[in-house]
Amino acid sequence: MKKFKIEKEHHGYKISEYLREIQNYSGRGLRNIEVFLDGKKVRTTQKIRKQGLLKVVEKEKGTNIKPIKIPLDIVFEDEDILVVNKQPYLVTHPTKKKVDVTLANGIVYYFQEKYGKEMVPRFYNRLDMDTSGLIIIAKNSFTQAFLQNFGDVKKYYMALVHGIIKEEMINIEKPIARVGDDLRRKILDEGQYAKTVVKTIKRNEEKNITLTECELFTGRTHQIRVHLSNEGYPILGDKLYGDMDDNVKRQMLHSYKVSFIHPRTKERKELEIEMYDDMKEFM
């Protein structure tokens, strides 16, 4: 439930207009709520005539994801958002091939234990099974829509790559496409626009590897992996986009930092974690 204090300057607004224009609700979000003005249930088409307190309650929505207890590394949590550090080798969400023991199963279990009810895990971002790091989960549809439309979410990854990158920064803007049923994405003119900025953090001449920071400006599937491989610097352990036998158990890619505008405070929140131990040891 959310509460909003109606001010004099909002008189004359329809409640739906107030929620859209002032509180950043989406059209879909408005279809999934009940509203109460000074304790009385009202329609969203009603006009605001006086100052008061508006309460917005989301209608309950269930999920068919089975709750399974798994350890969660919680980095941040409040009433709207949960951010976890996903371990490698864990699928984010059930798929046709993987229907249990995913991060989503663990989140459903955690919400059920904490709130005593079934809640939908609304993932803002997802990570490949072998990619570790920060994942943002919205606890309600308003937060999910706010992050998508107004959150200005910034995502940063650390990647260990083959080769020594001489440049301090590489700006990659190349379209990415999927061809047929092939899992591999390719750089093709007819693909979707994709932008990644790669910064060099540390070079290891002896091992012929470079530690990089990759900032995503778009969110295409396998984007960092495709872009780095196309530049000639495949990620260590990436069996799909690299062709080297490097004796690494997983792709050395880690979502280490995110920042976003918080839907309740409207202030920017930044979260940062360290690399996973396997990446530290290899570097």
Average of pLDDT values for 105-124? 92
Q: Which two tokens stand for residue 127?
A: 């990570």
Domain CATH for 190: 3.30.2350.10
* pLDDT tier, 27 (very low <50, low <70, confident <90, very high otherwise): confident
Lowest mean pLDDT among 1-10, 21-30, 175-184: 21-30
Of the residues 103, 119, 150, which one is the last residue of a structural domain? 150
Q: Are both 72 and 46 inside the same structural domain? A: no
Res 117 pLDDT > 90? no
- Provide the domain limits for residue 246: 155-255
**Average confidence score pLDDT of the chain:** 89
Is residue 240 within 8 A of residue 183, CB to CB? The reply is yes
List the one residue out of 113, 57, 65 whose CA is nearest residue 92: 65
Average of pLDDT values for 175-201? 92
Domain CATH for 34: 3.10.290
Q: Are both 163 and 250 inside the same structural domain? A: yes
Tell me, what's the pLDDT at 179?
85
**pLDDT tens across 70-90, in order?**
999 999 999 999 999 999 999
Percent of the chain with pLDDT over 70: 95
Task: Name the active-site residue from 128, 182, 189, 243.
Answer: 128
Q: Are both 165 and 217 inside the same structural domain? A: yes
Q: Are both 80 and 99 inside the same structural domain? A: yes
Q: Are both 54 and 72 inside the same structural domain? A: no
Residue 269 domain flag: no
Tokens 């979410």: give the residue.
153
Write the DSSP assignment of the chain as a string of letters: -EEEEEPGGGTT-BHHHHHHHTT---HHHHTTEEEEETTEEE-TTSBP-S-EEEEEEEPP----PPP------EEEE-SSEEEEEEPTT--SS--SS--SSSHHHHHHHHHHHHHSS----EES----TT-EEEEEEESSHHHHHHHHHH---EEEEEEEEES---SSEEEEE--EEE-TT-SSEEE-TTSB--EEEEEEEEEETTTTEEEEEEEESS--TTHHHHHHHHTT-PBTT-TTT-------SS--EEEEEEEEE-TTT-SEEEEE-PPPHHHHHH-
Between 107 and 2, residue with greater pLDDT: 107
Alpha carbon distance 106, 92 (integer Å): 10
Residue 264 domain flag: no
Percent of the chain with pLDDT over 90: 57
Tell me, what's the pLDDT at 222?
94
What sign results for the dihedral spanned by CA atoms 105, 110, 112, 113?
A: positive
Residue 280 domain flag: no
Tell me, what's the pLDDT at 244?
67
Res 242 pLDDT > 80? yes
Residue 262 domain flag: no
Residue 247 domain flag: yes
Q: Are both 34 and 94 inside the same structural domain? A: no
Q: Are both 49 and 79 inside the same structural domain? A: no
Q: Are both 105 and 164 inside the same structural domain? A: no
Q: Are both 75 and 103 inside the same structural domain? A: yes
Tell me, what's the pLDDT at 98?
63
* pLDDT tier, 245 (very low <50, low <70, confident <90, very high otherwise): low
Average of pLDDT values for 193-210? 95
Residue type, 199: K
**pLDDT tens across 142-163, in order?**
898 899 889 999 999 999 999 9
Residue 136 domain flag: yes
Residue type, 191: G
Decide if 130 is catalytic: no
Of the residues 58, 87, 104, which one is the last residue of a structural domain? 58
Average of pLDDT values for 164-173? 96
Tell me, what's the pLDDT at 87?
94
Residue 49 domain flag: yes
Alpha carbon distance 39, 3 (integer Å): 11
Res 101 pLDDT > 90? no
Q: Are both 73 and 123 inside the same structural domain? A: yes
Res 277 pLDDT > 80? yes
Of the residues 21, 39, 58, which one is the last residue of a structural domain? 58
Domain count, the chain: 3
Tell me, what's the pLDDT at 46?
83
Residue 277 domain flag: no
Res 186 pLDDT > 80? yes
Tell me, what's the pLDDT at 248?
86
